[in-house]
Homo-oligomer: A and B are copies of this chain.
Amino acid sequence: MKNSREKILKAAVAVFSRRGFHQAQVEEIAKKAGVGKGTIYLYFPNKAMLFSAAVSEGLEEIMAALQSELQSDVPFTEHFHILIRTSVTLYLKHGDLSKILINELTSGIGPAAMKEIEAVRERFIGFIAGVLEQGSRDGYIKPMDFRLAAAGIVGLMDSLCRFHFQSRGAVDSAQIAETMHAILSNGLLAK
């Protein structure tokens, strides 16, 4: 049996993503985690901090997974494709998280937790910008404002993934990855 902190975090991600920050009730998280309400306050100072911890640790996992993917040694063009596919897969798998990350950023979470979350988002965007920059140094990516582009990519991915969730299976992971790849590699214009 995992320890309480883990169980709480896992339950928190699930509940927050389903309901959003304000609609989520601490009690439901406690119940889902199989602990008492009070126990949550043993590990997290308040709801907002629990929220940012949930987001933070989840995203950290995604980044670690992507990072390890980056180690492999294949030609860039293929690498680029794989990277996108992996991102989409991870993003959809951690769908809960992504919904949170996108939807709750201005929902009045309180300044402290807010800062935490923006920092996480920053780190995520920075991570992607880093990948782009490396690709650029190796001559595969056009020079550009990498952070801006990275922010755009995150938004693109979010939006496509939301489409997936809302389409209830009509649009699958592969289609999303292909659309992303198509747009990001060559744009929309016919040659």
Contact = CB atoms under 8 A, between A and B. Distances in A.
State the copy count for this chain: 4
Contacts of A132: 188
A182 B142 contact: yes
A140 interface: yes
Contact of A107 (B21, B166, B183): B21
A187 B155 CA distance: 15
Contacts of A139: 190
Contacts of A155: 155-160, 162
Interface of A: 17-24, 77, 80, 99, 102-108, 118, 132, 136, 139-142, 144-145, 147-149, 151-152, 154-160, 162-163, 166, 171, 175-176, 179-180, 182-190
